[in-house]
């Protein structure tokens, strides 16, 4: 037990530590009386008030599978804030479950090194026709063959309706019922480990969704001391914040301990407001470290942040928060502008090729210089952080789905450029992430969708989305986020795997991933063993990486014309590893299989060439 939190077991909510009696613990400092009403049973369970606003009780009336609610002050019926299951949605009663019942078979599983993570981000509802955890499980062999080492699942906390990205979750401990619930998620993780795949879960601690959010009936979960894009901030540092912090830390520990999740991706941590002496992220790090000490298992904490502040990923020994890695949107933004994307909104900050080269070297593009979009100096240099602390991508759920029409890269930039973008990510000294379907140039979009059951809220979401894109396209093009059709249009089309050019794109991705795994200079995340030559006139980059005597040259042409590139140093014979413009990949022409430096090579439009040698 540390700071009131039990590392070894879940203590809040309803739990069955001995599989006999239900142990109930509720944080409700705003109430004067709390009872538990078990559906179809006429015996209410009265809870006792303890210190710091906690209510507790032990009973044999409530059993696994029973539906129950808390009755606050003898009048207000509410589901459990720490519910594990909401079969009737966020407005219905909670279902009691035991997390101890699942028969794990992954005792020999060892989480892989973070430097070997190749992420595959997916949305459970649209990844498979079934839209369930079982649908994912049935396609794990496909992901293994692709070369993926870690699947990253978008949030699964219970949200209203059956269609949502997951960031509107209102029960952080409850697994979305329509996806299969607790048991199906545990089964998926167990199967992943049996097949050698790590599992990353996306979690949201910067806000709680609007529909079905009953937390304020229990306690001061939010504070007006800070404002976020979603309204009042989650209360991590105001009066009553101890209970909120325990709620979140218990949630983190549950995913690692009881679901065997390997890593968490914490959404938009820049929107977490905390002026406590110990920031909540640092507190989470402390408790996860204690868990790992007890179990011997490794777990990673990965954050999304747009702060460009290495404080988040610096080690606690140098007063950092100790997060293991972070997403780097600036690599994506630079890459997209280099590919020909419009410089609108936050993309206006990025100059394309020179900023892409800077991100290859420094991860952050902005390290204290003036940002026109932000209208201020922004960022701080990450000097001591290795490449494995940065996750990069050419596509993800945000960068695809937050466009009005949800277009993917192959649709926006074409087949040849899509191949180049994939290569640009996979040859980086950072951790690569793929977004589901990009590996076969999926033609369906990934749109923004919700299924709020509150009609007024659904209307507000629809109008807000329209307003956001008022100057973009015609209103006739606008996909209604509430319509079921918007959701179904976002589903992957697995039948495309048998068709061209999708089949070739998939082979190409498999080849790139295989090369990254097999060649030390590409697999290494040492971002200091790297040299970049940029030709702004020709719009080409030459990336030179080396490790353990192996050197690779990654030649990238982002222009629409054939460009001539020189290989001057070191003097050696270079052997071709991959050529995106080769006819094998439906390209226009192949480059020579070998080159002897000094040499020149014609680099086809929108193409990638990789050569290697040993010196």
Instruction: Tell me the catalytic residues.
Output: 267, 304
Taking the C-alpha atoms of residue 229 and residue 227, their distance in angstroms, rounded to an integer, is 7
Cβ atoms 506, 440 nearer than 8 A? yes
Residue 399 assigned ligand-binding role? yes
| Three-point CA angle 327, 333, 338, nearest 5° | 135
Query: Which residue, among 257, 234, 231, 260, has the nearest Cα to 247 in the 3D structure?
Result: 234
Strand partners, 300: 263
Give the CB-side neighbour count of residue 460, counting CA atoms within 13 A: 8
Residue 408 assigned ligand-binding role? no
Residue 226 assigned ligand-binding role? no
Question: What 3-state DSSP class applies to 327?
Answer: strand
DSSP for 5-61, please give it.
B-SSS--SEEE-TTSSSEEEEEE-TT-S-EEEEETT----EEPEE-GGGEEEEEESS
Residue 270 assigned ligand-binding role? yes
Taking the C-alpha atoms of residue 199 and residue 194, their distance in angstroms, rounded to an integer, is 12
Residue 563 assigned ligand-binding role? no
Residue 266 assigned ligand-binding role? yes
Which is it for the CA torsion 406, 268, 78, 82, positive or negative? Answer: positive
6's CB contacts (< 8 A; 6+ apart) are none
Residue 269 assigned ligand-binding role? yes
Residue 251 assigned ligand-binding role? no
Residue 218 assigned ligand-binding role? no
Query: Which residue, among 437, 585, 581, has the nearest Cα to 500 in the 3D structure?
Result: 585
Cβ atoms 201, 261 nearer than 8 A? yes
Length of the chain: 615
Strand partners, 38: 68
Residue 265 assigned ligand-binding role? yes
Q: Regarding beta strands 34-38 and 45-46, do their DSSP bridges make them parallel or antiparallel, or are they unpaired?
A: antiparallel
Residue 316, both tokens: 């606690």
Residue 402 assigned ligand-binding role? yes
Inter-CA distances, 159 with 1, 2, 233, Å: 31, 31, 19
Residue 502 assigned ligand-binding role? no
486's CB contacts (< 8 A; 6+ apart) are 447, 448, 449, 479, 480
Residue 606 assigned ligand-binding role? no
Annotated binding site: 265-270, 329-333, 397-402
Annotated binding site for substrate: 265-270, 329-333, 397-402
């Amino acid at each position: 037990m540390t700071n009131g939190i039990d590392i070894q077991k879940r203590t809040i909510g309803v739990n069955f530590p001995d599989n006999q009696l239900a142990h109930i613990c509720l944080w409700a400092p705003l109430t004067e009386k709390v009872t538990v009403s078990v559906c179809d049973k006429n015996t209410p369970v009265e809870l006792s008030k303890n210190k710091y606003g906690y209510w507790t009780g032990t009973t044999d009336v409530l059993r696994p599978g029973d539906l129950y609610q808390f009755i606050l002050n003898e009048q207000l019926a509410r589901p459990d804030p720490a519910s594990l299951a909401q079969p009737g949605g966020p407005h219905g009663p909670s279902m009691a479950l035991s997390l101890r019942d699942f028969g794990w078979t992954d005792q020999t599983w060892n989480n892989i090194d973070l430097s070997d993570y190749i992420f595959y981000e997916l949305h459970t509802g649209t990844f498979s026709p079934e839209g369930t955890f079982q649908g994912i499980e049935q396609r794990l062999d496909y992901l293994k063959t692709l070369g993926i080492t870690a699947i990253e699942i978008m949030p699964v906390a219970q949200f209203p309706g059956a269609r949502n990205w997951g960031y509107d979750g209102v029960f952080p401990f409850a697994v979305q019922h329509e996806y299969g619930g607790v048991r199906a998620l545990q089964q998926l993780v167990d199967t992943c480990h049996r097949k050698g795949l790590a599992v990353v879960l996306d979690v949201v601690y910067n806000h709680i969704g609007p529909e079905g959010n009953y937390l304020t009936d229990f306690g001061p979960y939010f504070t007006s001391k800070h404002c976020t894009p979603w309204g009042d901030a989650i209360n991590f540092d105001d009066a009553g914040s101890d209970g909120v912090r325990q709620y979140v830390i218990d949630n983190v520990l549950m995913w690692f301990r009881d679901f065997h999740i390997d890593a968490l991706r914490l959404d938009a941590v820049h929107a977490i407001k905390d002026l406590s002496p110990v920031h909540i992220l640092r507190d989470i790090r402390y408790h996860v470290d204690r868990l790992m000490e007890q179990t011997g298992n490794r777990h990673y904490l990965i954050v999304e942040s747009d702060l460009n502040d290495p404080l988040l990923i610096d080690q606690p020994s140098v007063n950092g928060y100790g997060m293991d890695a972070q997403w780097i949107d600036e690599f994506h933004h630079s890459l997209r502008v280099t590919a020909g994307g419009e410089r609108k909104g936050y993309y206006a900050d990025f100059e394309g090729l020179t900023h892409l080269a800077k991100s290859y070297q420094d991860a952050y593009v902005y390290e204290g210089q003036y940002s026109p979009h932000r209208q201020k100096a922004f960022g701080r240099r990450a000097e001591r952080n290795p490449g494995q602390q940065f996750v990069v991508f050419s596509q993800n759920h945000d960068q695809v789905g937050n466009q009005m029409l949800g277009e993917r890269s192959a649709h926006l930039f074409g087949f040849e450029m899509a191949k180049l973008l994939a290569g640009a990510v996979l040859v980086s000294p950072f951790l690569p992430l793929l977004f589901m379907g990009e590996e076969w140039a999926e033609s369906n979009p990934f749109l923004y969708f919700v299924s709020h059951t509150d009609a007024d809220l659904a209307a507000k979401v629809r109008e807000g989305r329209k307003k956001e894109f008022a100057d973009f396209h015609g209103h006739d093009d606008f996909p209604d986020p509430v319509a079921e059709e918007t959701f179904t249009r976002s589903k992957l089309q697995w039948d495309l795997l048998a068709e061209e050019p999708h089949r070739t794109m998939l082979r190409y991705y498999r080849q790139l991933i295989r090369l990254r795994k097999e060649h030390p200079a590409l697999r290494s995340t040492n971002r200091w063993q790297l040299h970049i030559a940029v030709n702004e006139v020709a719009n080409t980059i030459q990336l030179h990486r080396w490790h353990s005597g192996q050197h690779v040259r990654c030649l990238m042409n982002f222009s629409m014309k054939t460009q001539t590139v020189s290989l001057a140093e070191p003097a050696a014979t270079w052997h071709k590893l991959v050529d995106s413009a080769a006819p094998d990949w439906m390209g226009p022409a192949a480059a020579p299989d070998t080159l002897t430096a000094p040499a020149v090579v014609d680099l086809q439009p929108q193409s990638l060439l990789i050569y290697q040698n040993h010196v």
